Structure 1
Amino acid sequence: MSSGDHGYGGDQTRTRLPEGSAGDAYGSGRRPGGRPSRSLITVVGVVVLLVAAIAFANRGGNGGNGGVDGNGGAPQARQTAPTGERPVTGSEAGIASGFPKTEQGAESAAANYAVALGSDRMFNRDERNEVIDAITAEAARAPLRQKMDKAYSEKFVESIGLDADGSAPKGMTFVNRTVPVGTKLTRYENGEASVEVWSASLFGLAGEGSTKPVSDGWFTITIDLVWAGGDWKVESHSQQEGPAPVRSDTTASGAEEIAEAVEGYGGFTYAR
């Protein structure tokens, strides 16, 4: 889910002479007339940096307008930045709920629902249906159940090394975790919204002898939401690969360390 530019100056070389070496043959330390002191330059520099920092901070908090302009036009490009809005306090089936009917609320809902749809709970039929019932609009539940039952067939589940009920073999830890990196609101009107959630993921079996070791992936899930029953609910969703960054040179951890990390580090409630 960033690149930095490094600027370099020209090929000029500056030689700094000791006090009293230039323009003063007697070493009296005399300064040319009109030249500001170093202390004054330092103070001015600090003030400029402080003003720039304040301006940057104020700009970063100006995210309450969402991704669509105030005239109902096309979505405006903007950086995903925290808004300072409090996250929701409600939950249903272990998934955040009670999102406000705002652009920010739609983005927060989509991020949390992306996590639920990309969790290990989806590999167990009963837990999968519990997730679907919690986050999906009533009219969309039956079609989504059928779609997911087909996607998570016993044949598929067993092909990745799991038991038929989605549990990991003895001595193994199944990992399927989705981590939202950013959200983009692409449509918001008449109680409906469409949000793209750029995400990273961890998937595989951690354990000695695993033929499906845990690896990372990158994808973007598009979630169409509808306002129903006082909350944002999923109407449909689709997924595509990327954008993916260049692989890092971080040394891969062993299976035991990965298993301990997954079991020891919990997830988050995501807020825009």
Structure 2
Amino acid sequence: MNIGGGDEYDARTRTSEGVPGAQDGARTTTRTRLPGSEGSNRPPTRPGRSLVTVVAVVVLLIAAIAFANRGDGDGGGGGGGAGSSDGKNDAAAQAQPTAPTGEKPVKTTGDTLPSGFPHTKQGAQSAAANYAVALVSADIVKTKERDAIIQQLFAPDRVTEVQGKMDKAYSPKLLARMGLDENGIAKKDTKYISRTAPVGTTVRTYKGDTAKLDVWCTGVFGNAGKKSTTPVTSDWFTLTVELTWTDGDWKIRKFSQKEGPAPVNGDNTASSADEIAAAVDKFGGFTYAR
């Protein structure tokens, strides 16, 4: 799903994941290693649901992200930032094994956003993966939570601009079409879900205090509920993140998103809305490390 901010997010907003309180209830933080190359099967869209409805929601999310990125003169074009490249950088950005190093990605624990990543290429990859989870989390649609995410993840000189773009992108009109009220809260008897899982990272460029990376992600988003008009579905996308080393940590200067690469859907039987909602409450999020 697209984050609602120009060089920022996808309005799926599954959306910035992995945010303070990105999931309802206490979140169990577990450290894991990113898969090296292969994708994983995802449940297909619920049989019997309107394909048109699902496509419409995705389009809304993409439009929100494009709107948020609009007017950013120094970035890659709207919606295609993740795909823009120059030959030299792409040639060097080849996949590398994600073998464990024994180094902890961060010291933070509990329901806080990961921070304090190492000033290394590996640290930049861990930061990008965790920031992707936050940028495409359920909290990104809520004004207060969204502001907290932006304050922590973005470079200080980018915060005000990003907040303005995100507020416009996540307008009451857009939220209503996503089945949420003006505060980003789901309707009665439904639960808004937006959970992102990075599948892998690659470094486009790394110059000590700056880094540009791609994060390949999959995730689920939508409203779980028997009367939901925007059922929970899955998608695949690539988030391009430009980081800068500021005040002892990696911070985002800009980001963009594009669809895919996406595998062929598997033959998994779609779960009920209640099962999906229960799974989000039961399973905590991860802290991702390179």
**TM norm. shorter chain > 0.5:** yes
Q: Which residue of 2 aligns with 1:65?
A: none
Q: Which residue of 2 aligns with 1:264?
A: 282
**What are the ranges of 5 or more consecutive residues in structure 2 without an aligned counterpart?**
1-36, 40-90
Matched, 1:208 2:190: no
Q: Deviations over 1:72-124 (max 9, x none)?
A: x9334323343332231126982100001000100000011000000011111
Q: Deviations over 1:9-50 (max 9, x none)?
A: xxxxxxxxxxxxxxxxxxxxxxxxxxxxxxxxxxxxxxxxxx
Matched, 1:199 2:217: yes
Aligned residues: 203
State the secondary structure of the residue aligned to 2:123.
helix
State the secondary structure of the residue aligned to 1:131.
helix
Query: CA separation in 1, counterparts of 2:111 and 2:148?
Result: 7
Mapped contact 1:93–1:131 kept (Cα < 8 A):
no
Aligned pairs (5 A) from 1:134-173? 134-173=152-191
Q: Which residue of 1 aligns with 2:9?
A: none
Query: CA separation in 1, counterparts of 2:122 and 2:235?
Result: 26
Query: CA separation in 2, counterparts of 1:263 and 1:191?
Result: 38
Q: Which residue of 1 aligns with 2:272?
A: 254
Q: Deviations over 1:208-244 (max 9, x none)?
A: 1111110000000000000000000000000000000
Query: CA separation in 2, counterparts of 1:225 and 1:93?
Result: 23
State the secondary structure of the residue aligned to 1:82.
coil
Superposition TM-score, scaled by structure 1 size: 0.71
Mapped contact 1:91–1:97 kept (Cα < 8 A):
no
Task: Identify if the C-alpha distance between structure 1 residues 143 and 91 changes in structure 2 by more than 3 Å, giving closer, same or farther.
Answer: farther
State the secondary structure of the residue aligned to 2:151.
helix
> Which residue type is aligned with residue 146 of structure 1?
G
Superposition TM-score, scaled by structure 2 size: 0.67
Percent of aligned positions with the same letter in both sequences? 50
Aligned pairs (5 A) from 1:1-272? 2=38, 74-90=92-108, 94-272=112-290
Task: Identify if the C-alpha distance between structure 1 residues 131 and 113 changes in structure 2 by more than 3 Å, giving closer, same or farther.
Answer: same
Mapped contact 1:93–1:134 kept (Cα < 8 A):
no
Question: CA RMSD for the aligned pairs?
Answer: 1.8
Query: CA separation in 2, counterparts of 1:217 and 1:169?
Result: 23
State the secondary structure of the residue aligned to 1:233.
strand
> Which residue type is aligned with residue 156 of structure 1?
L
